[in-house]
Amino acid sequence: MSSLPNFQGKVYQRDTSEEYGAHAYQYATTSEADGTMTPAAIIYVASDDDIIQAIQYAREKDLGIAVRTGGHQYIGSSSTTGNNIQIDLSGREAPDRDSYPYREWSLDEEEGSLTLGVALDVDDVCAIKVQHGVFFPHGECCTVHVGGHMQTGGWSVISPTFGVMIDYLLRFDIILADGSKRTVERDSQDPIDKDLWWACLGGSPGNFGVVTSITLKYLKDEDHPKTRGFKMGWFFKQSTLEQLVQIISEINDDPNGDPDFAMSVMAFGEEYDPDVPSILPETFDNEMMKKYPHLTGVDKFHWVVPTIVVVGSWANSKGADQDDSHVDALFERFRQVPGMLSMKLINKVFPQDKMMDGAQKRPMSEIMKALTFENPREFNMPGKKLAWLGKNTSTMSQKNELGVTFAEWVAKKAHDIESIKGEFKYYGMKIAIQVGMVGGPGLANPPIVTAMGQRDGNYWLTFDVFYDPNVRGTFEKTAEFQHALAADVLSNKLNFWDDGRERRVILGPMVVNDEKPILDELWPVYYDNREVYERLLKIKQKLDPQHVFTPNLFCVGATSCPRLQSQA
Ligand SMILES: Cc1cc2nc3c(=O)[nH]c(=O)nc-3n(C[C@H](O)[C@H](O)[C@H](O)COP(=O)(O)OP(=O)(O)OC[C@H]3O[C@@H](n4cnc5c(N)ncnc54)[C@H](O)[C@@H]3O)c2cc1C
């Protein structure tokens, strides 16, 4: 590639070295086709000047820029290939990470707001919230970074009550394709600000500019003194999963349900035991984690038995005077499912993984911290992730067209892989699934509507299957298993969408069957209607006519980008 300008931050140009491979590596690397996440250069930007210089370079050379912060994008579209470059705002290569400009944060008590640099991750954010007794919705994976998260919603364990992270934004700083930097205010009447607000928040992340910091309004723990958190575990059994999911479905279907509850069930195959040598070679993901922990993040805990965890909270949205006499009864329904592990035991085995049985009042900031998933990946393996949002508040608990309840269906699917029989047939494969309530008044009523789709959704399903590539046939079996699972969901025989419209989420894009990751084709499942996507196309054309922020086909209007047309 022609010579790059001098950047203050470190630069790694594509070559065959292990070092380049380590820097190009991100969450989706081993799960997607080889060569799709190999930028011509990876630039760890040190400042706005570096970002602006990268933009100028890309414009001059007619290249695309992929923007990466946490690198968690499900299908790797925060990376790129060919002549395109990637800029990284994580600060992972900064000489002093603590003083990296995009990790700065501050709290403004007068405004009641928190300003966060995009290089902070959910773990950092939780620590700040606990320190100051404040909270707002955000996701549960510790290593997801503010950079992408602030554009993909920030779906949370408190979303049914309080909505998503973007609903709390007051302003954000962004560097545009023309190299200008602006602060976009929530109430700005400037037409460009209005477009940016609408398009960046839930439109298509990284396609409109480089976000450097956000300011959001916080809620205070002290205004919600009766909040309760729930996080309890069971060893995996089909019947246990079925009972727990059925409770979720019944709560979901109850027309008189209290929207302050948000509950979900997760089930995981067993993770490796670091103390027991494996007969299989290391996976590439594991090797990366061992050799380059500062790039990949570190595993904080290991569970060695297939496990089910129920997580949730009661939000006490109306404050001190709100009646909470009914709260314990709902948690008790979960506690009554046989086999619940003792809180004392789990706290002893995983001291950093705080369990909560819902009995005690606890500040929401602490509950949210306790509900985060501490490891950077579910498993250190490639996987095929599927995620949908359902829309059905009346019949999720009833038998569907397949003649089973949703709970029976999901538990059977999980059991197929995790049972002893599954050990033979699906040896080397592991599930990571989550089923739960995420919708409700909080989600449906944003302060300002943005491009983010699916606000009418209520029921969450992620069904991820991870596979050990050292076990022959697991890739093919995973694809086959997931195609069959997707076919059931897409047929809508599970009653997942009462209006029949499939809903996917921009926080976790995926492809099924023969689909290609081309947003210009897949938009109907990510956005609410054609008008939304057409407005995104117009804004993209207006603010980035040269397609600077179009590094791959999972971008708004990418099929009209001459550089990419041969791939479409
Ligand atoms: C294991 C796991 C758990 C998750 N859990 C949740 C959850 O509980 N709730 C939830 O809402 N989401 C969740 N997500 C999804 C996650 O929030 C999104 O993928 C998010 O966009 C990731 O941001 P990132 O910066 O970490 O990743 P990246 O891959 O770096 O970025 C994601 C997208 O944002 C763009 N982007 C990143 N930084 C910037 C920037 N500074 N300026 C402009 N564009 C940028 C990228 O180009 C890319 O398109 C999860 C994802 C994973 C893999």
Say what the pLDDT of residue 273 is: 78
**3-class DSSP state of 73:** coil
Q: Which segments of 218-354 are extended strands (E)?
A: 219-220, 228-235, 261-268, 307-314
Report residue 227 as tokens: 């909040």
| Residue type for position 376 | P
Q: How many CA atoms lie within 13 A of 353 on its CB side?
A: 21
Say what the pLDDT of residue 101 is: 98
Find out whether 501 and 474 touch, Cβ atoms under 8 Å. no
Q: How many CA atoms lie within 13 A of 86 on its CB side?
A: 30
**How far lies 366's CA from each of 130, 323, 363, 524, 552, in Å?**
6, 22, 5, 38, 39
Which residue minimizes the CA distance to atom 37 of ligand 1? 148
CB-defined site of ligand 1, < 6 Å: 27, 66-73, 77-78, 89, 118, 139-141, 144-145, 147-149, 151-155, 205-206, 210-211, 507-508
Q: Any alpha helices (H) in 83-155, and if so which ranges?
A: 122-132, 146-149
* Domains (range + CATH), the chain: 11-95 (3.30.43.10), 97-222 (3.30.465.10), 225-519 (3.40.462.20)
Q: How far is the CA of 453 from the centre of ligand 1 (A)?
A: 16
Q: How many CA atoms lie within 13 A of 112 on its CB side?
A: 9
Report residue 433 as tokens: 């699934």
Say what the pLDDT of residue 1 is: 62
Q: How far is the CA of 341 from the centre of ligand 1 (A)?
A: 33
Q: Alpha-carbon distance 290 to 283, whole Å?
A: 11
**3-class DSSP state of 343:** helix
Q: Alpha-carbon distance 369 to 366, whole Å?
A: 5
Say what the pLDDT of residue 304 is: 85
Write out the DSSP string of 505-550. -TTS----TT----HHHHHHHHSSSHHHHHHHHHHHHHH-TT-TT-
Residue 488 C-alpha from the chain's centroid:
23
Report residue 178 as tokens: 């023309």
Pocket test for ligand 1, best of 151, 313, 384, 434 (most atoms within 8 A of CB): 151
Work out which ligand 1 atom sits closest to the CA atom of 165: 11
Of the candidates 11, 83, 6, the one whose C-alpha atom is nearest the C-alpha of residue 43 is 11
Which residue minimizes the CA distance to atom 15 of ligand 1? 507
Of the candidates 433, 195, 411, 219, the one whose C-alpha atom is nearest the C-alpha of residue 313 is 219
Q: How far is the CA of 372 from the centre of ligand 1 (A)?
A: 15
Which residue minimizes the CA distance to atom 17 of ligand 1? 149
Say what the pLDDT of residue 2 is: 64
List of residues 6+ apart from 387 with CB closer than 8 A: 74, 460, 461, 462, 504, 505, 507, 508, 510
Of the candidates 231, 232, 230, 245, the one whose C-alpha atom is nearest the C-alpha of residue 415 is 245
Residue with tokens 């399903």: 461
Find out whether 452 and 445 touch, Cβ atoms under 8 Å. no
Q: Provide the pairing of β-strand 459-467 with 429-437.
A: antiparallel
Q: Alpha-carbon distance 99 to 119, whole Å?
A: 11
Query: Long-range pairs for 479-486 at CB < 8 Å and ≥24 separation?
Result: 479/384, 481/416, 481/417, 481/426, 481/429, 482/384, 482/386, 482/512, 483/512, 483/513, 485/386, 485/413, 486/386, 486/512, 486/513
Pocket test for ligand 1, best of 48, 149, 462 (most atoms within 8 A of CB): 149
pTM of the entire predicted model: 0.96
Q: Alpha-carbon distance 558 to 568, whole Å?
A: 8
φ/ψ of 389, rounded to 5, equals -110, 125
Mean pLDDT by 10-residue block, N- to C-terminus, for the chain (568 residues)? Answer: 89 97 98 95 98 98 97 97 97 94 98 98 97 97 96 94 97 98 97 98 98 98 97 96 98 95 96 81 94 94 91 97 97 97 82 83 96 94 97 96 97 96 92 95 96 97 97 96 97 95 97 95 98 98 98 97 84
DSSP state of 165: G
Q: Which segments of 374-447 are extended strands (E)?
A: 383-384, 387-390, 429-437
Say what the pLDDT of residue 271 is: 87
